[in-house]
Structures are given as structure tokens and as C-alpha cells.
């Protein structure tokens, strides 16, 4: 939400799918550029999102939106077997 708000579009699109026991979560925002870990300090309230998603997921990634608008889709998959 914070990333999209900086680009003047305070919204995200969330897609959840379940197929053959794998849960996929896709979040589309309107912020240009690749997702970067925040490097949050002990008392920071933000900056841990990517770290949390990676630690709770089997696979993660992102791709730029191909429709001519700014933004990207960040995705995570959990097969229920994440370590």
C-alpha cells in the first residue's frame, strides 16, 4: 500500500488461487521498480514485508506489468511444505 501511495494510486490488486494444494498470492501495485527489502531496524514499523513473505513461502518472485502502466506483480506460492 505504501509503495502505490507514493505513485498517486493508493490501491493494490490482490489475487488468491488454490490449485493442486498450492496457494498462490499475487499482489499488483502501481510503484515502478523492483521490490527491495526494507532493511528495517528493531523499532521500525515498516520494511519487513518481503522478508516475511519469503520466510513463509515455498517460492516468491515478481514481474513488471505488461499493460503499459506503471507497476509490478509480486507473487508467493505455498505448497504447504515450506521449511
Q: Concatenated DSSP letters for 29-42? A: E---S--------T
Q: Which of 69, 82, 79 is nearest to 13 (CA)?
A: 69
- Tell me if 83 is assigned to some domain: no
pLDDT digits (tens, 9 = 90+) for 64-83: 988 888 889 999 998 875 44
- Tell me if 16 is assigned to some domain: yes
Number of domains in the chain: 1
Between CA 47 and CA 39 the distance in angstroms is 6
Q: What is the pTM of this model?
A: 0.76
The range of the structural domain enclosing residue 43 comes to: 2-78
- Tell me if 17 is assigned to some domain: yes
Residue 30's pLDDT band (boundaries 50, 70, 90)?
Answer: confident
pLDDT of residue 70: 81
- Tell me if 32 is assigned to some domain: yes
pLDDT of residue 45: 81
Amino acid at each position: 500500500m505504501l509503495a502505490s501511495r507514493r505513485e498517486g494510486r493508493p490501491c493494490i490488486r490482490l489475487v488468491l488461487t488454490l490449485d493442486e494444494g498450492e496457494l498462490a498470492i499475487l499482489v499488483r501495485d502501481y510503484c515502478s521498480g523492483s521490490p527491495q527489502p526494507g532493511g528495517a531496524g528493531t523499532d521500525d514499523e515498516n520494511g519487513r514485508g518481503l522478508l516475511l513473505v519469503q520466510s513463509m513461502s515455498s517460492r516468491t518472485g515478481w514481474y513488471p506489468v505488461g499493460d503499459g502502466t506503471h507497476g509490478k506483480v509480486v507473487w508467493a506460492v505455498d505448497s504447504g511444505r515450506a521449511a
